[in-house]
Amino acid sequence: MLASVLALLPLLGGCQSHPLTDYRAATEAGIYYGTIEDLKKLNTSDAEESEVINLKRAGVSEETIVALVRIAHEHQHPFVNTDAVKNLSHANFSDARILQIAQTDKLDSIGGDALLLHVVGLSDSSVQMLLDRRLNGVPTMAVNTIAELKNAGLSEKEILYRVQNGMTDSQGLAEAAARQKAMARNTGFRSNSGRKPR
C-alpha cells in the first residue's frame, strides 16, 4: 500500500490543490455556471482564473477555454498562455487549430511567431502556412530572416517562394544583406547624381 502511495507522489506534485480559488470574478465576467464547475474539477488556480477571464473577454469560447486549461494540466503546468492564444486567434486560427497547437505544448513559441509575422506584414494565410510547416517539422526560415528579406524589398510572394523551395536561414540572411547593400549603393548614387554643381 505504501509503495502505491509513494508511486503516486510525483504525479500529485505536478498538480497542486487550489481548494480556495474564488470564482466570483469569473461569474461577474459572465462565465457560465457549468463552465465554472468544469474549471473547479480541473483545480484551477487564482492566476489561471485571471487568464480564463482574459480569454473570455477576448471572445474565446468557454468550451475552448476549459480545454486549454485541461491540456496545460496534462502537460503538468498551469495555463498561462492567454497572449499566445489571442495572437493565434487574431491570425484567424480556428479554436480547433489552437487546441491542436496546445497539444504540442508550443503555444508560446508559435503564438509569438504569429504576432511577429503579422508585424512583418504577412497575410493571415501566409502566417498560417509558415506556422503549419513549423508544427509539421518542415524546415522553415526563422521569423527574423523573413523580416530581413521583407526589409530588403522582397514581396510576400517572393518570400514564400523561397521558403517553399527550401531556402535556409543563412542563405536568406545572405540574400537580404546583399540586397540591402545594393539598395544603399543605388540610393547613394542617386543622391550624389542629383546634386547641382556649385
Q: What is the pLDDT of residues 29-62, one digit of tens each?
A: 999 999 999 999 999 999 999 999 999 999 999 9
CB 179 within 8 A of CB 148: no
User: Going by C-beta distance under 8 Å and a sequence separation of 6 or more, which residues neighbour residue 28?
Assistant: none
User: Going by C-beta distance under 8 Å and a sequence separation of 6 or more, which residues neighbour residue 32?
Assistant: 62
Q: How far apart, in whole angstroms, are the C-alpha atoms of residue 48 and residue 46?
A: 5
Sequence-distant contacts of 137-143: CB under 8 A, at least 24 apart:
139/166, 139/168, 141/167, 141/168, 141/169, 141/172, 142/169, 143/113, 143/116, 143/117
Q: How far apart, in whole angstroms, are the C-alpha atoms of residue 147 and residue 173?
A: 10
Cα 46 to its chain centre, rounded Å, is 23
The model's confidence at residue 3, banded by pLDDT at 50, 70 and 90, is very low
Q: Per the confidence metrics, is the pTM higher than 0.85?
A: no
pLDDT, one tens digit per residue, over 164-194 is 999 999 999 999 999 999 988 886 544 444 4
The model's confidence at residue 195, banded by pLDDT at 50, 70 and 90, is low
- pLDDT (average), residues 119-139: 91
173-195: b (≥16 Cβ within 10 Å) or e: bebbeebeeeeeeeeeeeeeeee
